[in-house]
Amino acid sequence: MKRFTTSFKAIDRTDGSIKTFVGNDVYSDSQQDAEVYVKKYFPYLSIMGEFVSEVDEFTGKEIDLRQN
């Protein structure tokens, strides 16, 4: 399964402007399936893209998640 990141827009309480915030991750076989799932269950979220790597906190090395 692939992991997709989401976002949503909301009013920032500190200054009253509309900002983009990170939402929950969605696991799905394809981006199209993830978009259908989000539209049905979380209509306020938008798919940003596939989560492909992260940086290890201790070593500073990039971990490619597509290899697993």
Tokens of 24: 């929950």
Q: Is the pTM of this model over 0.85?
A: no
* Structural domain count of the chain: 1
Over residues 43-63, the pLDDT tens digits come to 999 999 998 888 888 998 888
Q: In Å, how far are 10, 36, 53, 68 from 13, measured between CA atoms?
A: 9, 30, 31, 39
CA atoms within 13 A on the CB side of 59: 6
pLDDT of res. 66:
74
Contact criterion met (CB below 8 Å) for 49 and 25: no
Supply the range of the domain harboring residue 11. 2-67
